[in-house]
């Protein structure tokens, strides 16, 4: 589905592709930094201590989430400046791309990158023999991973919109809401392999975020109805 999003909405306009790749880059950098921190922490600690490792992992995850949001913010700043430049350049005084479109694309960029990083190795392995979880792990590993990745990609997209909207209008509560949601989703994955604990809340949150983003982007129930009934 994310690929479909990409193809239909982004691939047409070259500017969006650039924003997308830049968004992916920012996510990547945040990942890099967070893994650096984690790596240092791990190396500095005792590798044999199991609970400590688990704790460090959790810490790493949280830190990474925070870093991701920080980078989203930085990216927002960059895009703001870019919009000013674009407006100055264009002859009729309005930018060829609105901040909301940028937010959307940035969100997709983040999401795609994080999804890619989560899934690609799995996909490559899945080309191998079809033994999933014979060592006592859950047999639904691939399926749940796929769903989780998809929900995460969508979530990133929606968070992008919400985040940028919050930054635009200086509503700090929106921004904190995004951060909290992200933390919540990542935290819920700690319940894995008890999949009920992670997938269901994530999907619920995603639905909520989707509705919120839709409303923010100017949609309304009426629009939706009209669209669905093809008026």
Partner 1 sequence: MIAFMNNSDSEEEPCNERTSLMSAESPPVPSYQDGLQASQAGEVQAHRKRRTGSSRSPNNIADGDMSDSGVPVRESALENEEEELTLKYGAKHVIMLFVPVTLCMIVVVATIKSVRFYTEKNGQLIYTPFSEDTPSVGQRLLNSVLNTIIMISVIVVMTVFLVLLYKYRCYKFIHGWLILSSLMLLFLFTYIYLGEVLKTYNVAMDYPTLFLVIWNFGAVGMICIHWKGPLQLQQAYLIMISALMALVFIKYLPEWSAWVILGAISIYDLMAVLCPKGPLRMLVETAQERNEPIFPALIYSSAMMWTVGMAKPDTAAGGPSQQTWDAAEDGRENHRSPSHADSQMLETRSPAPTRPITSFEELEEEERGVKLGLGDFIFYSVLVGKAAATASGDWNTTLACFVAILIGLCLTLLLLAVFKKALPALPISITFGLVFYFSTDNLVRPFMDTLASHQLYI
Note the residues at the interface with partner 1 (CB under 8 A).
13-15, 17-18, 21-22, 24-25, 28, 31-32, 34-36, 38-39, 42, 57, 60-61, 64-65, 68, 78-79, 81-82, 84-86, 88-91, 96, 113-114, 116-118, 120-122, 124, 141, 144-145, 148-149, 152, 185-186, 189-190, 192-193
162 or 185, CB closer to partner 1?
A: 185
Shortest distance (Å) from residue 78 CB to partner 1: 6
In whole angstroms, the minimum distance from the beta carbon of 228 to partner 1 comes to 32
Give the C-alpha separation, 2 to 153, whole Å. Answer: 7
Minimum Å gap between C-beta 96 and partner 1 is: 6
In whole angstroms, how close is the CB of 16 to partner 1 at the nearest point? 9
Cα 41 to Cα 33, 34, 70: the distances in Å are: 12, 11, 21
d(CA 144, CA 142): 5
Q: Are 191 and 198 in contact (CB under 8 A)?
A: yes
Q: Give Cα separations from 130 to 123, 125, 141, 146 (angstroms).
A: 12, 9, 12, 16
What is the b/e burial string over 164-192, where b = at least 16 CB atoms within 10 angstroms of the residue's CB?
bbbbeeeeeebbebbbebbeebbbbbeeb
- In whole angstroms, how close is the CB of 159 to partner 1 at the nearest point? 13
Main-chain phi, psi angles of 200, to 5 degrees: -65, -50
Nearer to partner 1, 65 or 213 (CB): 65
**Which CB atom, from 141 or from 214, has the smaller least distance to partner 1?**
141
Of 107 and 216, which CB lies nearer to partner 1 in the complex structure?
107
Closest to 113 in 3D by CA, of 27, 39, 208: 27
- By C-beta, is 68 or 157 nearer to partner 1? 68
């Amino acid at each position: 589905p994310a690929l479909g999003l990409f193809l239909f909405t982004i691939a047409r306009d070259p500017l969006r592709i650039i924003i997308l790749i830049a968004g992916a880059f920012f996510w990547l950098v945040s990942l890099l930094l967070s893994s650096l921190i984690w790596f240092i922490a791990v190396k500095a600690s005792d590798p044999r201590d199991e609970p400590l490792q688990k704790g460090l992992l959790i810490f790493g995850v949280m830190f990474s989430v925070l870093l991701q949001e920080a980078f989203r913010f930085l990216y927002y700043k960059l895009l703001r400046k870019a919009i000013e430049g674009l407006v100055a350049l264009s002859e009729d005084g309005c930018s060829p791309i609105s901040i909301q479109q940028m937010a959307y694309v940035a969100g997709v960029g983040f999401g795609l990158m994080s999804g890619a990083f989560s899934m690609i190795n799995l996909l490559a392995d899945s080309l191998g023999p079809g033994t999933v979880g014979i060592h006592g792990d859950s047999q639904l590993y691939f399926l749940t991973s796929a769903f989780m990745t998809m929900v995460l990609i969508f979530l990133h997209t929606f968070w992008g919109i919400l985040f940028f909207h919050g930054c635009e209008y200086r509503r700090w509560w929106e921004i904190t809401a995004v951060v909290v949601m992200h933390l919540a989703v990542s935290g819920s994955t700690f319940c894995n392999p008890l999949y009920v604990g992670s997938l269901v809340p994530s999907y619920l949150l995603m639905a909520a975020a989707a509705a919120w983003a839709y409303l923010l982007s100017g949609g309304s129930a009426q629009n939706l109805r009209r669209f669905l009934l093809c008026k």
